[in-house]
Chains A and B, each alone.
Chain A
């Protein structure tokens, strides 16, 4: 198989680094060569953040080349629009129904874009719009929001269910393992 390229987009503080880490470890445990990258630092304070995971037989660049991303995992709607130049035609987009207003929207200098999901569909992407917070809430803890999104992602990737569970166990705080697994399973239903 070729390389699978996953881009994760979100807002600083949403837990993107952990999500990128879990996807990376799951692919690694499954036996793939893997490279990942993410931007941390200044952007942690509510700025634009992104992560990339690339896995396959042999991977060189940790950064996804322009136009080659197969899947976008958008933790926030607006941030999902920011990286479309990296996406393949007809790529999968898993998008969280979550709007976090950027500074210029808060101070009323710009409008938050409307109908993002419809816009993405009209561009030919295969869009899975997920109310991750609501699913997390019904699973028992809103903080499992990102795990809910990973549950959806897991259905698109050649990584075994058991590998995901093992990886989640090793990467979330010990006290929250059970609730995270419940949320992961619920989102895969």
Chain B
């Protein structure tokens, strides 16, 4: 094995960045790229920072690059949407310190709200896009990206996907090579994107992308595997290449490393030798359309799906339909007769009582992005909308205004977490601060970016027992916005929380409720478990309604009806179920037993 280590794709990105003199990295946590920055933290030469959102992460990175440092910014595919403003202007500039933008796409929407194909940013922003197919290539292309960035004066997009980010494979390790940091050298013509400077840059970008195309035509990074007598050429990139190899097609394969700008002249020359050109790519027909526009008779999406991840069997099926595989693939059907298992709020999750109260109140709630998005699912089904980070706050005003104009006003609620509030909720809150409509905003301040694994938020510090050197008060911010009606409460006091929430929803104008219980995953509750006293339980299922993983209905011996049961191994002792039980059947065990 020698200098080889097993690494995930995310770890390979970090390693590649470190080995090649990386000095500054920033990100906002989002699946599938979370572990890039997490694993960057072990390299002391790199300053790795979680930013409040992807835009700030990108802006810090622009600064680092302008100061001459080798820089990386990583995010999930939707992150670039909020960072698009600085990004689209930054790419006009002749890059100084090597700059790599890593985007993790999520075909199949494993943990995302949409499925956008990030390769289009390359074309839109006039920058090259690299697509590796395994962890070793991820590390190698990170180096290539930094080098191309400095050689051509361009940011480089390293495009990954969920499978690539999380997959493990052996990676050859190297030592770190320091890069020279020149420092910030004033050059307004280079760094100030105003006319006339920015006008010139349009020509610069055209020329830059043309040079990159020439580079891509002549480079050996794109691998051609020719098969004698084959009349088909398959063009592919990324992890699809690995699936394709499993199918052993009777075809030559061109595996592209750089998918934008494409090596058109090379492909034109190559394609003249083949009868059929097939493109195997995940999501949109990005390569296919460019080839077609350049007169190459390529086919792709006729045979392969436009949505979801590709798999070996999907490629087999497509190749069979395209007449490349002779044998019809036998594909076992998935068993859909068994109960699905959707994610649930953890035992002791502080979101639970709030959802329970909102459901009983039949409130109309605009939802947002975080663990509390699980409130969309049964049995709560409380959140009625889910769009993007921070959207609940702007949307709730839009709904209120329209209903008022139509004479249909009703009380409205918006729900947002602390991480999302700082990410993109604050500007929405500025607008809301002047509303006269009946809107209640619930800020679920659990001190954690929970869904992505428990990264800190600006409010975590208060809970770190002296370790946190910095903390921001959401209440303080809202007061500074001129909002008067603010209640801070502990939502594990169920009755008080319910009364406060119902009263707030009755009041005209804007009311804010900030819940303070921290995330049960990051700040574990270790209280004695609760149990159901079968002599008292009336089988009313009130506790089932709070939907906690340890609570189910169970058939006890000698009983006609099922009674509720709490699994002691899973219960953390938060007490919420005992507070909704109308007959006091749910009791806390003694400490010794726990």
Q: Which residue of A lies closest to B309 (CB)?
A: A63
Contact at A63–B170, with CB atoms within 8 Å? Answer: no
Cβ 8 A contact of B169, one of A35, A39, A43: A35
Q: Is B163 an interface position by the 8 A CB rule?
A: yes
Contact with A along B417-434 (1 / 0, CB 8 A): 000000000000000000
Q: How large is the interface on B (under 10, 10 to 19, 20 to 34, 35 or more residues)?
A: 35 or more
Contact with B along A126-142 (1 / 0, CB 8 A): 00000000000000001
Cβ 8 A contact of A106, one of B134, B163, B340, B549: B549
- Residues in chain B near residue A82, CB distance under 8 A: 334-335, 338, 341
The 4 closest A-B pairs by CB, nearest first: A41-B111, A41-B31, A47-B343, A85-B332
Question: Measured between alpha carbons, how far is A78 from B170 in the docked complex, in Å?
Answer: 33
Question: Measured between alpha carbons, how far is A42 from B166 in the docked complex, in Å?
Answer: 14
A-B contact count (CB 8 A): 163
Q: Is B243 an interface position by the 8 A CB rule?
A: yes
- Known A42-B111, A62-B167, A62-B169; contact A78-B6, beta-carbon cutoff 8 A: no
Question: Measured between alpha carbons, how far is A78 from B337 in the docked complex, in Å?
Answer: 11
Binding-face segment, B82-90, B196-204, B374-382, B583-591: B374-382
- Residues in chain A near residue B311, CB distance under 8 A: 63, 65-66
Q: Is B185 an interface position by the 8 A CB rule?
A: no
Question: Measured between alpha carbons, how far is A143 from B448 in the docked complex, in Å?
Answer: 26
Question: Measured between alpha carbons, how far is A31 from B339 in the docked complex, in Å?
Answer: 40
Cβ 8 A contact of B168, one of A35, A44, A84: A35
Question: Measured between alpha carbons, how far is A31 from B342 in the docked complex, in Å?
Answer: 38
21 contacts between A and B (CB under 8 A): A12-B343, A43-B111, A45-B343, A45-B374, A47-B344, A48-B340, A60-B245, A61-B239, A62-B134, A62-B167, A65-B313, A66-B313, A78-B338, A82-B338, A85-B331, A85-B332, A103-B377, A103-B379, A105-B339, A108-B553, A113-B338
Contact at A37–B341, with CB atoms within 8 Å? Answer: no
Contact with A along B305-345 (1 / 0, CB 8 A): 00000011100000000000000001111110011111111
The residues in B between 141 and 179 inclusive whose CB is less than 8 angstroms from any CB of A are: 162-163, 166-170
Contact at A33–B378, with CB atoms within 8 Å? Answer: no
Q: Is A46 an interface position by the 8 A CB rule?
A: yes
Known: A35-B169, A41-B32, A41-B110. 12 other contacts (CB 8 A): A24-B168, A28-B1, A34-B168, A60-B246, A65-B312, A66-B331, A84-B332, A85-B333, A102-B342, A103-B377, A104-B378, A110-B339
Question: Measured between alpha carbons, how far is A120 from B332 in the docked complex, in Å?
Answer: 16
Cβ 8 A contact of A37, one of B167, B345, B453: B167
Q: How far is the CB of A157 from chain B (nearest CB, A)?
A: 16
Q: Is B551 an interface position by the 8 A CB rule?
A: yes
- Known A24-B6, A28-B6, A45-B345; contact A106-B547, beta-carbon cutoff 8 A: yes
Contact with A along B526-556 (1 / 0, CB 8 A): 0000000000000001001001010111000
Contact at A61–B242, with CB atoms within 8 Å? Answer: yes
Contact at B343–A66, with CB atoms within 8 Å? Answer: no
Q: Is B371 an interface position by the 8 A CB rule?
A: yes
Question: Measured between alpha carbons, how far is A134 from B147 in the docked complex, in Å?
Answer: 56
Contact at A67–B31, with CB atoms within 8 Å? Answer: no
Q: How far is the CB of B573 from chain A (nearest CB, A)?
A: 17
Q: Which residue of B lies closest to A110 (CB)?
A: B339
Question: Measured between alpha carbons, how far is A105 from B339 in the docked complex, in Å?
Answer: 8
Contact at A45–B167, with CB atoms within 8 Å? Answer: no
- Residues in chain A near residue B330, CB distance under 8 A: 67
Q: How far is the CB of B236 from chain A (nearest CB, A)?
A: 12
Q: Is B346 an interface position by the 8 A CB rule?
A: yes
Contact at A105–B245, with CB atoms within 8 Å? Answer: no
Q: Is A146 an interface position by the 8 A CB rule?
A: no
Q: How far is the CB of A84 from chain B (nearest CB, A)?
A: 6
Contact at B243–A63, with CB atoms within 8 Å? Answer: yes
Q: How far is the CB of B288 from chain A (nearest CB, A)?
A: 22
Q: How far is the CB of A28 from chain B (nearest CB, A)?
A: 5
The residues in B between 1 and 50 inclusive whose CB is less than 8 angstroms from any CB of A are: 1, 6, 31-32
Q: How large is the interface on A (under 10, 10 to 19, 20 to 34, 35 or more residues)?
A: 35 or more
Specify which of A25, A36, A59, A60 lies most central, judged by the most chain B CB atoms within 10 Å of its CB: A60
The residues in A between 101 and 159 inclusive whose CB is less than 8 angstroms from any CB of B are: 101-113, 142
- Residues in chain A near residue B341, CB distance under 8 A: 11, 46-48, 78-79, 82, 102-103
Q: Which residues of A contact B (CB under 8 A)?
A: 11-13, 21, 24-25, 28-29, 31, 33-48, 59-63, 65-67, 78-79, 81-82, 84-87, 100-113, 142
Q: Is B451 an interface position by the 8 A CB rule?
A: yes
Question: Measured between alpha carbons, how far is A2 from B584 in the docked complex, in Å?
Answer: 61
The residues in B between 492 and 545 inclusive whose CB is less than 8 angstroms from any CB of A are: 541, 544
Contact at A84–B111, with CB atoms within 8 Å? Answer: no
- Residues in chain A near residue B111, CB distance under 8 A: 41-43
Contact at A31–B243, with CB atoms within 8 Å? Answer: no
- Known A62-B242, A78-B339; contact A107-B167, beta-carbon cutoff 8 A: no
Contact at A39–B313, with CB atoms within 8 Å? Answer: no
Question: Measured between alpha carbons, how far is A97 from B569 in the docked complex, in Å?
Answer: 15
Question: Measured between alpha carbons, how far is A36 from B335 in the docked complex, in Å?
Answer: 23
- Residues in chain B near residue A107, CB distance under 8 A: 378-379, 544, 547
Q: Which residue of B lies closest to A81 (CB)?
A: B338
- Residues in chain A near residue B334, CB distance under 8 A: 82, 85
Contact at B166–A38, with CB atoms within 8 Å? Answer: yes
Question: Measured between alpha carbons, how far is A105 from B335 in the docked complex, in Å?
Answer: 17
Question: Measured between alpha carbons, how far is A189 from B413 in the docked complex, in Å?
Answer: 59
Question: Measured between alpha carbons, how far is A130 from B82 in the docked complex, in Å?
Answer: 49
Contact at A61–B378, with CB atoms within 8 Å? Answer: no
Question: Measured between alpha carbons, how far is A63 from B108 in the docked complex, in Å?
Answer: 14
Q: Which residue of B lies closest to A11 (CB)?
A: B341
Contact at A106–B552, with CB atoms within 8 Å? Answer: yes
- Residues in chain A near residue B552, CB distance under 8 A: 101, 105-106
- Known A25-B6, A34-B6; contact A46-B169, beta-carbon cutoff 8 A: no
Question: Measured between alpha carbons, how far is A12 from B521 in the docked complex, in Å?
Answer: 13
Q: Which residue of A lies closest to B344 (CB)?
A: A46
Contact at B339–A112, with CB atoms within 8 Å? Answer: yes
- Residues in chain A near residue B31, CB distance under 8 A: 40-42
Q: How far is the CB of B156 from chain A (nearest CB, A)?
A: 24
Q: Which residue of B lies closest to A85 (CB)?
A: B332
Q: Which residue of A lies closest to B332 (CB)?
A: A85
Question: Measured between alpha carbons, how far is A128 from B333 in the docked complex, in Å?
Answer: 24
Contact at B344–A42, with CB atoms within 8 Å? Answer: no
Contact with A along B449-478 (1 / 0, CB 8 A): 001110000000000000000000000000
Cβ 8 A contact of B344, one of A34, A45, A79: A45
Contact at B339–A104, with CB atoms within 8 Å? Answer: yes
Contact at A42–B110, with CB atoms within 8 Å? Answer: yes
